[in-house]
Chains A and B, each alone.
Chain A
């Protein structure tokens, strides 16, 4: 096993638990670590310096930031790709591997790319593999093999990786970022009476204080105690990744027991954004060689993880944090060979060494041997959450960083801390305290009369503008984009920041621009002779941090709808049919037998999913006249009518029957699939076009269980279970409605209609009695030969009868006339939806018609969707087809061009397998009982 050769003695602020040693695997070898170590810190403690290979050139990469955003330490953990190794804590037995290295991290064949590096400048792919044309697909296949990233597997994931969760919270104040500013603001808001949630990306609170000096650590200790006493809910290892409209704030919480990641959705009254600052890398030759690190990276390694980052260092510093790194390094026993003070105009020219730092070259050619190069050249304010809230970032050249334009922020978002300024810890605390109180006040946690808190502005320190040195280097570490690439892009005319970014792919990788976007803009500005302000920023797009699909999806639950009769169906072997949200019985094993039962005796079918809208009010007839193409003003109480709805473009939208139950009371039915959309349709016409109409709409689809009783003996069967309703043909004729008691259940609606073409009654019974009524019907009709039938039998029955199904025999193109609904459409009505289109159509004559079709060979059932082809031209298609058990032959409905729609016309059907078969247009849509005698019996 490896040894922790670079582990330092105990450090005052260390986060590792030396009492809990553990072991984990790195590329198949066992490594020691302590609880609290990240993957990167544990490996670094054992002297490892190379963790990955770069995207394009497969150069060796080590630690750069030693934080979540570190582009050099993205690794595979078990089945999990792209794990941030400088953030993820090691666990016992963890299986960590480097990504994209072949055959090994030390010897990577693809690093050959680096040798031809000069042939891979910006836009390389756009300029090559063009001729001869057939070559690109070949190259593409090769290049795809070179693509970057971890591996996913098609096999089911382990439970730890596949459990996700969501939580909704409603804090008064949400604080994003748990450094000193965020902690202070959270405490202040809580003291002012607000319910506060504080979210921190790292595993512990404190931000930069954690790797600070004694005074910093003492201050942190105090802040932690205050916070513990404040009642603030703290989420660590969690990140606010988005601020959406109305302060809907999205947080991803990690590291929970049993849940891999949780999406926390907060509707925050006020949001405090205090993410601190991100240290910016410096662009110069060799800046990606393992051993080149930011000052915050070495300070983290030494102070948090007690890891000695090198033996001999050269430090480039332009600010007090860089100076502090020098102190830390020396304390940790690293020899600081040279300090390059950028404030005095000194600079680094290049890093020497390829696989690891061997030295640096200074201005003037002087070389210094070292194994560690540290840079501290400035800061980037992560503004994603603020730009999502509408702020426009403005560049301040004196401070060499962007600031949020606070004037453009909504009232419910308050920035705090490093994103708005610098200052001493005391100044920072005073400022953040005021922000916290003001956030609470704006959230309404304090009395409205309370005056607005005066938020002291933070001073802004001057900082030299340092983006790149005298040589070219890497700008985007995760994409392997160099400053030379950016210049090439500008030279070739991609001179706006947005174009150059897209052309080079800078900022498009896993670090999302956090480290590189300011350098990109600065380099483009310089190349185009503009200022940074004129060049603008590239857009910060959400999410602020990458989020797993699992967390976003949650426990992906797709609700299923079952009718109250479902238990019976299951017990009786129903084959399930997924019909939108519903699971319905397709058949009970013998659809043909079910058809015959209905034709010869009586059957019952569960039609609960049929959409049902309860309509009340004096203006219902106006509504019906507006939405249906037929006439509705004279529907008497006790009658039902079939109606068809069209959209404005004359395309058939839905159909169903509507019955008038009382003077101002109607029940509308829709197709099952249209239940939700027709409700929306009705509401949108009422609310947007006719808000004055007195119509009250209640969707009652699931309030009723619906059962269709069909067949010559249906009246007899029903007679045994209804009371007080006269079922005789004279008293209850076709297309009438009655209400009353069925099987002892009050409040049932019965209408006499017939989709199947047989005498039939449709019952709508209060849902909780659905199963009871269903079973009563079956029990009462044993001697009549009653039988349950499913969707398949119903489809056959309706096809035999020639009844169309909207969406099947019509579609997104079929206008009402082509659907054969001529008789129904009343163009003489005042106005209705789709009327103007239908007027045109009536003049133009429909191009196609719905017809019945019989294949000449009665045994051939053409698949639905088969085309009718005459002289090589499509002239129609089969919309429905089945074997008819009643007629012992195949039957179809088809949309055919008008010139072929005459009964008796012989057409050719091209089957999907390529065969052509002749078929004849029938006289009626119905193949069974076209006169409708059975229906009206």
Chain B
């Protein structure tokens, strides 16, 4: 079978196909190098404090898989569970935090609403005073959340899949999908053709282009999401900090750089160029949170593509074309889902049945009106 896209989703799917189902006659096609898409550009925040019980269950499974990934792949993916803070600057977000905390607790996920004094203890650099333009009223604290080394996850999966016999073809672009009588018979690539009955589309920001080749329409729009890092400074920030009101999140890597992200650009585009407006807004917001960082220098900015769905939930499983499956719609939050998506997609492909964990994410939901609702917890938090 053929998997299109050498990001975490494509590679994890290949890995679990081989490991859990013994299927190794698999080709992963990647038009550039592995991890060149969102998987090598994201800010690698992992968490499971979602809003709906279904979301919580799904992402919690992913975190559990991430926890043992290093040992399993024999590759240090540097999962750093340093805690994750989502700030509330007004009473309505505080209310949502409380709601999320209560849903999380009910599902056994560690989340708590904490006040400004506790926030200050966790992040001494934070302006928790009432003088702030948008004073911090509290935060959702999620100790198991953290960050991971994104490239390491991609490479670890690729290496392990390769060792089991999967072929990873870099610099190989999918250019056509042959569909006869409603079922897939093969694919064409920039380096030749492959006969296959199964194609899994794991191309995130490019997923509608690939789906079009199979004649499948997806309710997905591609938006750029930007990020930036600073020069390294000595460690001073131990937790991941997210502010929805200020559209910004910050973490400090083990190398000492601050990594910043925000919400998607306001219009659909395939551009991966960074903009000046973005870094200006970003810097302003970061300094509102931590005013003493003005002398810190921004070193690099970049953008990645995000495949946004109307309900901020992914699209996974079969489509109307027999043998053409999708694992897309990962928007701004799909890195953390890599393992669980790979595991469930592999099961879906291998058994032909849709695992319970992803049954809510089928493409059909857009035709029969059963959307999933994670907008509230996924919009900025990723």
Q: Which residues of A contact B (CB under 8 A)?
A: 79-82, 100, 125-131, 133, 136-137, 140, 143-145, 147-157, 161-162, 164, 242, 244-245, 248, 250, 260, 263, 265, 388, 493-494, 496, 498-499, 502-503, 505, 508-510, 512, 541-543, 546-554, 556, 558, 560, 578-580, 648-651, 807-808, 811-813, 836-837, 839-841, 844, 863-867, 869, 872, 874, 877, 879, 910, 912
B35, B70, B286, B299 — which one has the most chain A CB atoms within 10 A of its CB?
A: B299
Contact of A136 with B70 in the complex, beta carbons under 8 Å:
yes
If A554-B280, A578-B90, A910-B102 touch, does A144 touch B254 (CB 8 Å cutoff)?
Answer: yes
7 A-B pairs closest in CB distance: A840-B369, A865-B98, A550-B294, A813-B373, A552-B283, A546-B297, A149-B232
Min CB gap B196→A, angstroms: 25
Contact of B373 with A812 in the complex, beta carbons under 8 Å:
yes
Question: CA separation between A505 and B35, bound complex, in Å?
Answer: 15
Digitize B207-244: 1 where CB-to-A-CB distance is under 8 Å, 0 elsewhere: 00000000000000000000000111111100000000
Quick check: is B165 within 8 A (CB to CB) of the other chain?
no
Which residues of chain B are within 8 angstroms of A153 by Cβ–Cβ distance? Answer: 292
Contact of A137 with B81 in the complex, beta carbons under 8 Å:
yes
In the complex, identify which listed stretch (B15-23, B269-277, B337-345) lies at the interface while the others stay far away: B269-277
B20-40, CB < 8 A from A? 32-36, 40
Contact of B134 with A578 in the complex, beta carbons under 8 Å:
yes
16 A-B pairs with CB atoms under 8 Å apart are A79-B295, A148-B232, A150-B233, A152-B296, A154-B125, A157-B295, A541-B301, A546-B298, A547-B297, A651-B375, A812-B373, A836-B369, A839-B369, A844-B369, A874-B102, A910-B106
Min CB gap B339→A, angstroms: 16
Contact with A874, one of B53, B74, B231, B232 (Cβ below 8 angstroms): B53
Min CB gap B76→A, angstroms: 5
Question: CA separation between A77 and B159, bound complex, in Å?
Answer: 45
Which residues of chain B are within 8 angstroms of A840 by Cβ–Cβ distance? Answer: 368-370
Which residues of chain B are within 8 angstroms of A156 by Cβ–Cβ distance? Answer: 291-292
Contact of A512 with B299 in the complex, beta carbons under 8 Å:
yes
Question: CA separation between A869 and B51, bound complex, in Å?
Answer: 16
Q: Which residues of B contact A (CB under 8 A)?
A: 32-36, 40, 51-53, 67-68, 70-71, 74-76, 78-81, 89-90, 92, 95-99, 101-103, 106, 113, 124-125, 133-135, 149, 151-152, 155-156, 159, 170, 230-236, 254-256, 273-276, 279-280, 282-284, 286-288, 290-302, 310-311, 368-371, 373, 375-376, 379
Contact with B90, one of A164, A543, A579, A837 (Cβ below 8 angstroms): A579
Min CB gap B64→A, angstroms: 13
Which residues of chain A are within 8 angstroms of B125 by Cβ–Cβ distance? Answer: 152, 154
Contact of A912 with B274 in the complex, beta carbons under 8 Å:
no
Contact of B298 with A157 in the complex, beta carbons under 8 Å:
no
Contact with A548, one of B67, B294, B310 (Cβ below 8 angstroms): B294
Which residues of chain A are within 8 angstroms of B283 by Cβ–Cβ distance? Answer: 549-553, 556
Which residues of chain A are within 8 angstroms of B255 by Cβ–Cβ distance? Answer: 147-148, 505
Question: CA separation between A805 and B109, bound complex, in Å?
Answer: 29
Question: CA separation between A558 and B254, bound complex, in Å?
Answer: 32
Contact of A250 with B80 in the complex, beta carbons under 8 Å:
no
Contact with A649, one of B33, B40, B234, B311 (Cβ below 8 angstroms): B311
If A148-B255, A912-B113 touch, does A548 touch B33 (CB 8 Å cutoff)?
Answer: no
Min CB gap A390→B, angstroms: 9
Which residues of chain A are within 8 angstroms of B70 by Cβ–Cβ distance? Answer: 130, 133, 136
> What residue of chain A has the Cβ atom nearest to residue B299's Cβ?
A546
Question: CA separation between A841 and B368, bound complex, in Å?
Answer: 10
If A150-B234, A498-B36 touch, does A164 touch B103 (CB 8 Å cutoff)?
Answer: no
Contact of A126 with B288 in the complex, beta carbons under 8 Å:
no
Min CB gap A651→B, angstroms: 8
Min CB gap B164→A, angstroms: 15
Contact with A556, one of B40, B51, B151, B287 (Cβ below 8 angstroms): B287
Which residues of chain B are within 8 angstroms of A130 by Cβ–Cβ distance? Answer: 70-71, 74-76
Question: CA separation between A912 and B101, bound complex, in Å?
Answer: 8
If A157-B294, A648-B310 touch, does A510 touch B102 (CB 8 Å cutoff)?
Answer: no
Extra 16 A-B pairs, beta carbons < 8 Å, given A154-B124, A650-B369, A912-B102? A82-B231, A126-B76, A133-B67, A147-B235, A147-B255, A164-B294, A496-B170, A509-B232, A512-B300, A546-B230, A546-B299, A547-B297, A549-B298, A550-B295, A556-B284, A578-B90
Contact of A502 with B80 in the complex, beta carbons under 8 Å:
no
Question: CA separation between A553 and B159, bound complex, in Å?
Answer: 42
Min CB gap B122→A, angstroms: 12
> What residue of chain A has the Cβ atom nearest to residue B282's Cβ?
A552
Which residues of chain A are within 8 angstroms of B298 by Cβ–Cβ distance? Answer: 543, 546-549, 552
Min CB gap B186→A, angstroms: 27
Contact of B95 with A865 in the complex, beta carbons under 8 Å:
yes
Contact of A578 with B135 in the complex, beta carbons under 8 Å:
yes
Which residues of chain B are within 8 angstroms of A265 by Cβ–Cβ distance? Answer: 276
If A130-B76, A867-B106 touch, does A157 touch B292 (CB 8 Å cutoff)?
Answer: yes
Which residues of chain B are within 8 angstroms of A910 by Cβ–Cβ distance? Answer: 102, 106
Contact of B279 with A81 in the complex, beta carbons under 8 Å:
no
Question: CA separation between A910 and B256, bound complex, in Å?
Answer: 41
Min CB gap B137→A, angstroms: 9
Contact with A152, one of B81, B254, B295 (Cβ below 8 angstroms): B295
Question: CA separation between A383 and B124, bound complex, in Å?
Answer: 40
> What residue of chain A has the Cβ atom nearest to residue B371's Cβ?
A649
Min CB gap A310→B, angstroms: 30
Min CB gap A460→B, angstroms: 29
Question: CA separation between A157 and B103, bound complex, in Å?
Answer: 41
Contact of A155 with B102 in the complex, beta carbons under 8 Å:
no
Which residues of chain A are within 8 angstroms of B310 by Cβ–Cβ distance? Answer: 648-649
Which residues of chain B are within 8 angstroms of A151 by Cβ–Cβ distance? Answer: 233-234
Question: CA separation between A811 and B280, bound complex, in Å?
Answer: 30
Min CB gap A880→B, angstroms: 9
Contact of A865 with B96 in the complex, beta carbons under 8 Å:
yes
If A140-B80, A496-B33 touch, does A578 touch B89 (CB 8 Å cutoff)?
Answer: yes
Contact of B376 with A813 in the complex, beta carbons under 8 Å:
yes
Which residues of chain B are within 8 angstroms of A496 by Cβ–Cβ distance? Answer: 33, 170
If A560-B133, A807-B92, A812-B375 touch, does A548 touch B297 (CB 8 Å cutoff)?
Answer: yes
Min CB gap A133→B, angstroms: 5
> What residue of chain B has the Cβ atom nearest to residue A152's Cβ?
B233
Which residues of chain A are within 8 angstroms of B299 by Cβ–Cβ distance? Answer: 510, 512, 543, 546
Min CB gap B212→A, angstroms: 22
If A80-B295, A865-B99, A869-B106 touch, does A248 touch B276 (CB 8 Å cutoff)?
Answer: yes
Contact of A140 with B291 in the complex, beta carbons under 8 Å:
no
> What residue of chain A has the Cβ atom nearest to residue B238's Cβ?
A144
Which residues of chain A are within 8 angstroms of B74 by Cβ–Cβ distance? Answer: 130
Contact of B76 with A161 in the complex, beta carbons under 8 Å:
no
A140, A512, A549 — which one has the most chain B CB atoms within 10 A of its CB?
A: A549
> What residue of chain A has the Cβ atom nearest to residue B123's Cβ?
A154
Contact of A866 with B98 in the complex, beta carbons under 8 Å:
yes
B133, B283, B294 — which one has the most chain A CB atoms within 10 A of its CB?
A: B294
Question: CA separation between A503 and B35, bound complex, in Å?
Answer: 12
Contact of A837 with B369 in the complex, beta carbons under 8 Å:
yes
Contact of A81 with B133 in the complex, beta carbons under 8 Å:
no
Contact of B95 with A808 in the complex, beta carbons under 8 Å:
yes
If A151-B233, A388-B273, A541-B300 touch, does A498 touch B33 (CB 8 Å cutoff)?
Answer: yes
Which residues of chain A are within 8 angstroms of B235 by Cβ–Cβ distance? Answer: 144-145, 147
Which residues of chain B are within 8 angstroms of A872 by Cβ–Cβ distance? Answer: 106
Contact of B287 with A147 in the complex, beta carbons under 8 Å:
no
Which residues of chain A are within 8 angstroms of B78 by Cβ–Cβ distance? Answer: 125-126, 136, 140
Which residues of chain B are within 8 angstroms of A127 by Cβ–Cβ distance? Answer: 75-76
Question: CA separation between A161 and B372, bound complex, in Å?
Answer: 48
Which residues of chain B are within 8 angstroms of A808 by Cβ–Cβ distance? Answer: 92, 95
Contact of B297 with A126 in the complex, beta carbons under 8 Å:
no
